[in-house]
Amino acid sequence: MPTPQPALQIVGTSPQRKEGRAKVLGTARYVDDLALPGMWYGATVRSSVARARIRSIHYGASIPWHEYTVVTAADIPGENTIVHLGKDHPCLADGMVNHPDEPILLLAHPDKAALHKAVAAVQIEYDELPAVFTIEESEAALASGDPQRIVWGEGQHANTFKTYVMTAGDPEQAAEIFRTADFVIEGEYRTGAQEQLYIENNGVIAEYSEQDGVTVRGCLQCPFYVVHALELVFDLPGEKCRVIQTETGGAFGGKEDFPSVIGSHAALLAMKSGHPVKICYDRAEDMAGTTKRHPSRTRHRTAVSRDGQLLAGEIDFALDGGAYATLSPVVLSRGTIHASGPYHWPHLTVRAKAMATNLPPHGAFRGFGAPQSLFAIERHMDKIARTLGLSPEQVRRRNFLATGGHTATGQHLGDKVDMQHLLTRALAESGYHEKRARFDRENPYSSIKRGMGFASFMHGAGFTGSGEGRLNSLVEIELTPEGRPQILVSSTEFGQGTNTILCQVAAETLGIAYDDVLIAQPDTRRVPNSGPTVASRTAMIVGRLVERAARQLCLMLTDAGYPPGEHGFRHAAQGYLAEHGSLCASARYESPSDIFWDDDKYRGEAYPTYAWAVYVAEVAVDTNTYTATVTDFHALQEVGKVLHPVLAAGQIEGGVAQGIGYALHEKCVWQNGHMANNQMTNYIMPTAADLPPIHVHFEETPTLHGAYGAKGIGELPMDGPAPAILNAIEHATGVAFTEIPLLPEDLYEGLTHTAGAGSEELEPANAGPYFSEPMR
């Protein structure tokens, strides 16, 4: 528990969103609403093939090229790389392309309308090379030993961005258990790519001057990521690379790594043209050219006792990373750690790998690897139940992690964990047992088959392992000349409520009204680096730093003879300012002393804390039209202190909606690595008419690590819907689908040919070492 609090005044209430008025008035300014004097517009010429050497570039004669600025890789003053975790990702292709829609050159012109035909007039000739588009094709190319077919890296890294082996228990004992267990149950589970589909496309405006260096403003999550990328591309020190976040119309991870690309591009055009340059993608370009959720394949092999106890497990987890490494190693890491679900494993080996293909690089998307591996374990738990003749509930109850237990990484669960209670309550809230029995009675007489399914899961909040220590985040609170506190952070607002909750935390701690707290626009020239706005870390980690900085501010006022308690905060602040001129308090992240993480062995405290959840889906499958509809949804989660009930519920509802889309609607259709359905017309996300009632239930067990006990919740709701829905569809139809998205054509296939694509016969376990190929 944090320090004992008197009754909270502001935390736990739902004040209006800080920037909400501007949003409902339509006066909030997004990047495409801005124009700078003398501004030009930029566009990108992209590859039309997946993997090739560029033979020639020809500029068509119909275009007055002297009016345009053209930037190629040769114009890059620094390194031709977009730095993420490594430097394999070029800013602009130089002689070689590795995926369709890869940026090759950039154009700028004062008239936006003049760009389209100029892009079309650039003719590029290629010498095409063999390409791979799936995990299996990448594995096969690797196995062939033919260096021509290796699309990334060499030696042990050939076609492989990253591998992990995570082991719990004793491998020798596990081998013995697999020989003698009552059952060995195997399964393979797959998830597709998913587009973030923020309604505001990626966009930036860049400026350049010799004196000030580069300035990029735009919609983005992580201002300092873009600063670091610009430093390398322009060979400039960080203080000459300024990044300003504008109002951001949705992100979901899609504006975590990608703004470094578009930001660098616009800045190169600005430098060469001598004008500010705006690049705002249209929808088709954004969908084809920017990152998506990693497709995955997970294979489970599990030894279980007759009564449903997990005895030993092997999990092979593979991600398709696309053409460059970008964030794949860390997406893989989170997926690996979540692969074991909220269960106790006496012995477990997880082998994980992120493979290279010639798709555009996959990147961050809410959940960050966890939705993929949790989909697999939660489908597999239902398979175990069905194989053993137990209920999904029984199998989970036998294996849940609990207070004092250890996760698969060996993390001791010191905070209270009560999955048994969460499951009991979620099943009661949703009427699970009553409905399940009723549907079992009614389904034989109806062409609409109804079903109930659930998923139990957890999501680690904050950066993995030693990540928060490395980030070393800093938060400041300064006094404005009027004596109002202003929060200075690089943490960004993109709908999830950063501005509001951080101001609530500061107001609560300072003992002043919520409306009296200000938060500055993230501008790297002004705000300290409080880390990226990702990984469900803002409420918990940054919020806690705001709380500490606010305490520090009170302390500084008191020490100077202006105790804020006496005549109110404003009075004290004005008194201090009159004497000293300015005041700024700060707080820097300190790793808790009880957190230890071994990056090599993948052992230790993977996350400061976890949020725990049980989600229950009710579905209806129409056996005439082969459509599956979610008809009711209950989301129960334990998330520590809920800082703002309305925003928190909004996060859960929105995440569940994206999860329903992930399960039943959203499919990326790839044609030789190019996204063929790169439009909202044929990439289908849920509309208001498609979604069920979503009932959100919170349990609050405050954690020591978060602001007023808050845990991160942003990603959590993405994890549970897909497995809960497919579990419900299995209950409704008796067919165990193992792959998402599950579209009507897949349902048709599965329901008319039981062993068809995307499904499998529910035969009793067929043991056998058919996977577990040696890992590099």
Per the structure block, which two tokens stand in for 199?
């309604």
Per-residue contact string for residues 190-229; x = within reach of other proteins by CB under 8 A:
------xxxxxx----------------------------
Q: For other proteins, which is the closer residue by CB, 174 or 652?
A: 652
Instruction: Tell me how far apart the alpha carbons of residues 196 and 655 are, in angstroms, rounded to a whole number.
Output: 11
Q: For other proteins, which is the closer residue by CB, 101 or 653?
A: 653
User: DSSP letter string over 214-278?
Assistant: EEEEES-S-HHHHHHHHHHHHT--GGGEEEEEPB-S--TTTTTSTHHHHHHHHHHHHHHHSS-EE
Instruction: Tell me how far apart the alpha carbons of residues 317 and 253 are, in angstroms, rounded to a whole number.
Output: 21
Per the structure block, which two tokens stand in for 6?
């008197």
Handedness of CA 737, 738, 744, 748 (dihedral sign): negative
Tell me the three state secondary structure of residue 298: strand
Q: Considering the complex, what minimum distance in angstroms separates the CB of residue 546 from other proteins?
A: 21
Instruction: Tell me how far apart the alpha carbons of residues 635 and 639 are, in angstroms, rounded to a whole number.
Output: 12
Per the structure block, which two tokens stand in for 496?
């999830």
Q: For other proteins, which is the closer residue by CB, 103 or 717?
A: 717
Q: Considering the complex, what minimum distance in angstroms separates the CB of residue 181 from other proteins?
A: 42
Q: Considering the complex, what minimum distance in angstroms separates the CB of residue 665 from other proteins?
A: 12
Whole-Å CA distances, 644 to 310, 492, 506: 38, 17, 13
Q: For other proteins, which is the closer residue by CB, 480 or 679?
A: 679
Among 2, 5, 20, 309, binds other proteins (CB under 8 A): 20
Among 38, 693, 764, 769, binds other proteins (CB under 8 A): 693
Instruction: Tell me how far apart the alpha carbons of residues 73 and 91 are, in angstroms, rounded to a whole number.
Output: 8
Name the strands in the sheet holding 40-46, side by side, starting at the edge strand that comes first in the sequence: 69-71, 103-109, 40-46, 277-280, 203-209, 213-218, 241-245
Q: For other proteins, which is the closer residue by CB, 7 or 689?
A: 689
Q: What are the two backbone dihedrals, phi and then psi, of residue 549, each rounded to the nearest 5 degrees?
A: -65, -35
Tell me the three state secondary structure of residue 422: helix
Among 392, 654, 720, 723, binds other proteins (CB under 8 A): 654
Q: For other proteins, which is the closer residue by CB, 1 or 113?
A: 113
Task: Give residues 453-512 in contact with other proteins (rule: CB under 8 A).
Answer: 494-497
Listed in sequence order, the residues at least 6 apart from 173 whose beta carbon sits closer than 8 Å to its beta carbon are 312, 347
DSSP state of 620: E
Instruction: Tell me how far apart the alpha carbons of residues 97 and 107 are, in angstroms, rounded to a whole number.
Output: 18
Among 76, 694, 716, 742, binds other proteins (CB under 8 A): 694
Among 11, 17, 42, 83, binds other proteins (CB under 8 A): 17
Task: Give residues 270-299 in contact with other proteins (rule: CB under 8 A).
Answer: 282-283
Taking alpha carbons only, the member of 751, 743, 451 closest to residue 617 is 451
Q: What are the two backbone dihedrals, phi and then psi, of residue 52, each rounded to the nearest 5 degrees?
A: -170, 160
61 touching other proteins, by CB under 8 A: no
Q: For other proteins, which is the closer residue by CB, 44 or 529?
A: 44
Among 5, 9, 13, 28, binds other proteins (CB under 8 A): 28
Tell me the three state secondary structure of residue 527: coil
For residue 223, whether the previous peptide bond is cis, meaning omega lies within 30 degrees of 0, is: no
Options 44-52, 390-398, 547-555, 681-689: segment touching other proteins (CB under 8 A): 681-689
Q: Considering the complex, what minimum distance in angstroms separates the CB of residue 73 from other proteins?
A: 30
Q: Considering the complex, what minimum distance in angstroms separates the CB of residue 539 from other proteins?
A: 15
Q: Give the strand pairing for 160-168 and 348-355.
A: antiparallel
- Tell how far CA 676 is from the center of its chain: 23
Q: For other proteins, which is the closer residue by CB, 1 or 688?
A: 688
Options 142-150, 464-472, 581-589, 688-696: segment touching other proteins (CB under 8 A): 688-696
Among 173, 625, 679, 766, binds other proteins (CB under 8 A): 679
Options 15-23, 408-416, 440-448, 535-543: segment touching other proteins (CB under 8 A): 15-23
Options 24-32, 417-425, 571-579, 620-628: segment touching other proteins (CB under 8 A): 24-32
Options 257-265, 371-379, 564-572, 686-694: segment touching other proteins (CB under 8 A): 686-694
Instruction: Tell me how far apart the alpha carbons of residues 371 and 621 are, in angstroms, rounded to a whole number.
Output: 23
247 touching other proteins, by CB under 8 A: yes
Place of tokens 């991160």: 712
Instruction: Tell me how far apart the alpha carbons of residues 760 and 156 are, in angstroms, rounded to a whole number.
Output: 34
Q: Considering the complex, what minimum distance in angstroms separates the CB of residue 18 from other proteins?
A: 11
Q: For other proteins, which is the closer residue by CB, 32 or 440?
A: 32
Q: Considering the complex, what minimum distance in angstroms separates the CB of residue 650 from other proteins?
A: 5
DSSP state of 514: G
Task: Report how many residues bind other proteins under the rule CB under 8 A.
Answer: 57
Q: Considering the complex, what minimum distance in angstroms separates the CB of residue 491 from other proteins?
A: 15
Taking alpha carbons only, the member of 53, 69, 40 closest to residue 102 is 53
Per the structure block, which two tokens stand in for 677?
């359905």
Options 134-142, 160-168, 245-253, 377-385: segment touching other proteins (CB under 8 A): 245-253
577 touching other proteins, by CB under 8 A: no
650 touching other proteins, by CB under 8 A: yes
Residue 42 near residue 277, CB atoms below 8 Å: yes
Among 193, 229, 657, 742, binds other proteins (CB under 8 A): 657
Q: Considering the complex, what minimum distance in angstroms separates the CB of residue 32 from other proteins?
A: 7
Task: Give residues 627-646 in contact with other proteins (rule: CB under 8 A).
Answer: 646
Instruction: Tell me how far apart the alpha carbons of residues 231 and 238 are, in angstroms, rounded to a whole number.
Output: 6
676 touching other proteins, by CB under 8 A: no
Say which amino acid occupies 601: K
Termini Cα distance of the chain: 44
Among 78, 250, 405, 511, binds other proteins (CB under 8 A): 250
Q: What is the largest CA-CA distance in the chain?
A: 82
329 touching other proteins, by CB under 8 A: no
Q: For other proteins, which is the closer residue by CB, 271 or 675?
A: 675
Options 133-141, 271-279, 526-534, 656-664: segment touching other proteins (CB under 8 A): 656-664
Q: Considering the complex, what minimum distance in angstroms separates the CB of residue 353 from other proteins?
A: 31
Dihedral of the alpha carbons of 126, 127, 131, 133, in degrees to the nearest 10: 20
Q: For other proteins, which is the closer residue by CB, 24 or 120?
A: 24
Q: Considering the complex, what minimum distance in angstroms separates the CB of residue 255 from other proteins?
A: 11
Instruction: Tell me how far apart the alpha carbons of residues 59 and 69 are, in angstroms, rounded to a whole number.
Output: 13
Among 279, 656, 713, 729, binds other proteins (CB under 8 A): 656
Helix axes 543-559, 498-510, angle to 10 degrees: 30
- Binding residues for other proteins, rule: CB under 8 A, are 14, 16-17, 19-30, 32-33, 196-201, 247-252, 282-283, 494-497, 646-647, 649-650, 653-658, 679-681, 685-691, 693-694
